[in-house]
Amino acid sequence: MKMKKEGKNEKLLIDLCECYISLSNDFSSECLSICVPCLLKVASNKERHEDIQEELEMALLALSNVRCCVVEQELYLGAIKEIIQYHQEHHNLTRLAYQSAWQFLINRLFKDKRLEDMIMNELHFGREASGELEELSKCVDWKREKAEEEEERGKERREELVIWRWLDAMYYFLYSCRLWNEELAGVIGSVVSVFQASRDNRKRISNQCIYLFKRAAENVIMKIDVLLNEGVVDLISEEMKQPSLKDGIMFESLQFLKNISRKLKEKEVDKPEEEKRKAIKRKIFEKMEEEGYEDCIESIRKIFDFLKEQFCDGLSLNIFDYFVNV
C-alpha cells in the first residue's frame, strides 16, 4: 500500500510539473528548481515501452516551453546532455521528444553562453538538426495541397510540426550563438531543401525558413560563402518576385539582402580571403544591381536612419508606404 501511495504521489507531482510549465508564462526559480529535475528524471528513463515513450515525450515537451529564463546548470545540464547523447547512440526517443530535448537546451543558450562549445562540438547541434530535418522531410508529401482524409494527414501534420519546431530552434540558436562550426553549413543547406519543398503548399514552413535566412545573415559568425554556396541569395531574390508575397516576408527578404550587403563590405584581415571576398562582392553586387535590389536596400537604410532620429505619430504603420523603389 505504501509503495502504491508513493507511486501515486510521484505521478501527481509529475502531472503538476507538466501543467505548471505548460500553462505558465512567468516561471519562479523555486518552482523550476522542483519541476526541471522532476521532469528530467522522467525523461531519463531508458525503457522502450510505448507508455514510457509517451511519458518521455510529455516531460520533454513540457520542458521545451521553459523559454527565456535562467535555470541553474546544476539542475539540468548533466541530465539533458545524457538524454541527448543516449538517443544519438540508441535512438530511444520519438522525433518530437528529441527535438524538445534540444529546444530546452537551446533556450538556455541566450542566458548562458558557456553552453556554446558543448552544444556545437560535443553534442553536434548542427549535424543533428540538419540530419533530423532531412529525415523528417522524407515523411511529408510536400505536393499535397489538401488532406483527402484527416486520418491520412494526422501523422504527416505531426512531422510538419516537428520540422517547424526545428526551424524555430535553429532561429533561436543563430540569435544567440557566436561560435563558428563547419556543421552550420549543413544547417543552412538542410533549410534550403525544406524551403524549396515547402514554398508552394506549406507557407508557414517556407516563411519560417526566410526568417531563419535573415537571422543567419545577421549573425556575425555566419560566413557569407555558406549563404552564397547554398544558393540562399538566389532563392530570396526569386521569392521577392512572387506577386502574392506578403509585406512581412518582403521586409524579411530585404533585410536579408541588406545584411548580405553589409557583410560584403566588411574587410578581411587575411589577404587571400580579402581577394576572394572582392570576387564574391563583384558577383553579388552585379546580381543585386541587375535585379534592382540595391535601390531597395538603400531605401531601407534611409528609412531606418530617419526612424532612429525621430518618432512621428503620423507615420503609417506599414513601412513599405515609404519605399519609392519597390
Number of domains in the chain: 1
Which residues, 6+ apart, have CB-to-CB distance to 283 below 8 Å?
A: none
Which residues, 6+ apart, have CB-to-CB distance to 93 below 8 Å?
A: 53, 56, 57, 60, 83, 87, 101
Establish if 319 belongs to a structural domain. Answer: no
- Alpha helices by DSSP H, listed for 24-124, are 29-43, 50-63, 73-90, 95-109, 116-117
Establish if 59 belongs to a structural domain. Answer: yes
Q: Is the pLDDT of residue 300 over 70?
A: no
Establish if 86 belongs to a structural domain. Answer: yes
Helix (H) or strand (E) holding 173: helix 150-176
Q: What range does the domain containing 62 cover? A: 8-20+28-111
Q: How far apart are CA 150 and CA 183, in angstroms?
A: 37
Establish if 104 belongs to a structural domain. Answer: yes
Q: Is the pLDDT of residue 324 over 50?
A: no
Q: How far apart are CA 172 and CA 320, in angstroms?
A: 27
pLDDT at 269: 58
What is the average pLDDT value for the chain, to the nearest integer? Answer: 82
pLDDT at 250: 86
Establish if 43 belongs to a structural domain. Answer: yes
% of the chain surpassing 70 pLDDT? 78
Establish if 68 belongs to a structural domain. Answer: yes
Establish if 39 belongs to a structural domain. Answer: yes
How would residue 268 be classed by pLDDT, with cut points 50, 70 and 90?
low
pTM of the model: 0.83
pLDDT at 325: 41
Q: For residue range 158-183, list pLDDT tens digits in order.
A: 899 999 999 999 999 998 888 888 89
For 57, the grid coordinates are 515525450
Establish if 69 belongs to a structural domain. Answer: yes
**Which segment of 112-116, 128-132, 305-309, 314-318 scores lowest on mean pLDDT?**
314-318
For residue 114, the tally of other CB atoms under 10 A from its CB is: 10
How would residue 80 be classed by pLDDT, with cut points 50, 70 and 90?
very high
